[in-house]
Amino acid sequence: MSNTAARCDAPAAGREPTIHQRGQHEVFCGLTSIIWLHRKMQDAFFLIVGSRTCAHLMQSAAGVMIFAEPRFATAIIEERDLSGMADLHDELDAVVERLLKRRPDIKMLVLVGSCPSEVIKLDLSRAAERLNREHAPDRRVIAYSGSGIETTFTQGEDSFLATLVDECPVAEADAAPSLVVAGSLADVVEDQFSRIFQALGIENVAFLPTRRSDRLPAIGPNTRFLLAQPFLNEAAKKLERRGATHIPALFPLGEEGTTAWLKAASDAFGVDPARFEAVTAPGRERARKALESYAETLSGKRIFFFPDSQLEPALARFLSREAGMGLTEIGSPYLHRRHLAAELDLLPEDVVLSEGQDVERQIDRCHEADPDLIVCGLGLANPFEAEGYATKWSIELVFTPIQGYEQAGDLAELFARPLRRRAALKVEV
Ligand code: SF4
């Protein structure tokens, strides 16, 4: 049982109240984001300083996804370490020394803090500074925190990117205008967007995180940035502190979201509307065609979102407007009102938005809503499946390439598959 408090905002005109809850969470911690970050930055290595629990989480989360020598590991804090902090710094130095000797391909070493390292107040930023002095300029050592039972797994990426922004060179006030796309995207998606920006005539485009640690973009007052992911609160603040300007937009999910996202960048860089139309028309057409084939499976089905990734409002907007799904409750761990303003504006007025989590109460609300599909974490999926509900693991939506025109159909497929599977099971029974 959880000790919880719930409150409802006074309803805004025409919209159901947002439910704020603080209670028991059913989410992974920020370490999980290393699973996709280590594949993104190809010369970085993530060294988690944590316990056996952290190592087990990473092993089970990574599962079958490790094919080659991994680019992350856990330096285990043993019980005996808890009493001797001085030794712990020495041990960490020794682990790093051995690792860097064995892996000359590592150009950026990322020390990742965990609950155990924070409980014993092991200052990893200081350790990173010390190790940096030793290993620069060949290797860079940085640190961020991936811990937290009160956070969500995508916040790990936010913390990492915020730290990375500190490492970016400073762009002078008279530097040429540049665009930074912040938020991990699959390489294939990044390449597609690069080609579109190029066709639009937008120059000096960089994606953060970069694929290589020595290619970090310079950031300054002439930098504008687009968010590719909705969970980058801290990273966005750091970019703004460097003088960069946020380009508000929908997130690039589905035909509508991708078009609006690209249009926001195009307008910010003064791209001629006719050129925008010509460049994006074929992609829009392909995305619309791909989505047509999912109408039968998705249209009219009702979906319920538990709060996991912070992608929920953007996914809900896509599913309701482009796939015809009915929305019951959209739960999100945190709603960044400014970054999500365009998304929230497009949601149906009667949808229930909930922020934070109180899992027991939310399970009750889910039963009451009786949706056709539930988007939730792994811990909730199995019990719901056993009750006869179709579920979708929210973490899959972060691992899979879903942004952009070419992926609009794949995104719909992720929601159609569990519905088809459930329908097939019903026939067999
Ligand atoms: S919640 Fe804390 S202890 Fe558990 S895996 Fe994450 S960092 Fe480690």
How many Cα atoms within 13 Å fall on the side-chain side of residue 259? 20
How confident is the model over 118-136, as a mean pLDDT?
92
Ligand 1 closest atom vs CA 30: 6
Establish whether residue 307 lines the binding site of ligand 1, counting it when its CB lies within 6 angstroms of any ligand atom: no
Establish whether residue 30 lines the binding site of ligand 1, counting it when its CB lies within 6 angstroms of any ligand atom: no
Residue 290 has pLDDT above 80, yes or no: yes
Asked whether 16 and 354 are in contact (CB, 8 A), the reply is no
Token couple for 154:
């995508």
Dihedral angle over CA of 186, 190, 196, 202, nearest 10: 150
Residue nearest to atom 2 of ligand 1 (CA): 115
Q: What is the reported pLDDT for 64?
A: 44
How confident is the model over 3-13, as a mean pLDDT?
40
| Nearest CA-CA partner of 181 in 273, 262, 260 | 262
Establish whether residue 57 lines the binding site of ligand 1, counting it when its CB lies within 6 angstroms of any ligand atom: yes
Ligand 1 closest atom vs CA 58: 5
| pLDDT tens-digit series, residues 219-252 | 999 999 999 999 999 999 999 999 999 999 999 9
Establish whether residue 114 lines the binding site of ligand 1, counting it when its CB lies within 6 angstroms of any ligand atom: yes
- Listed in sequence order, the residues at least 6 apart from 165 whose beta carbon sits closer than 8 Å to its beta carbon are 208, 219, 235, 238, 239, 242
pLDDT band at 5 (very low <50, low <70, confident <90, very high): very low
Ligand 1 closest atom vs CA 116: 3
Report the predicted TM-score, pTM, of the whole model to 2 decimal places: 0.91
Asked whether 183 and 339 are in contact (CB, 8 A), the reply is no
Distance 380 CA to ligand 1 centre (A): 19
Establish whether residue 254 lines the binding site of ligand 1, counting it when its CB lies within 6 angstroms of any ligand atom: no
Give the H/E segment covering residue 369: helix 359-369
What is the distance between the alpha carbons of residues 421 and 349, in angstroms, rounded to a whole number? 31
What is the distance between the alpha carbons of residues 305 and 312, in angstroms, rounded to a whole number? 7
What is the distance between the alpha carbons of residues 177 and 324, in angstroms, rounded to a whole number? 39
Establish whether residue 53 lines the binding site of ligand 1, counting it when its CB lies within 6 angstroms of any ligand atom: yes
* Start-to-end Cα distance in the chain: 35
Distance 83 CA to ligand 1 centre (A): 20
Establish whether residue 49 lines the binding site of ligand 1, counting it when its CB lies within 6 angstroms of any ligand atom: no
What is the distance between the alpha carbons of residues 310 and 158, in angstroms, rounded to a whole number? 11
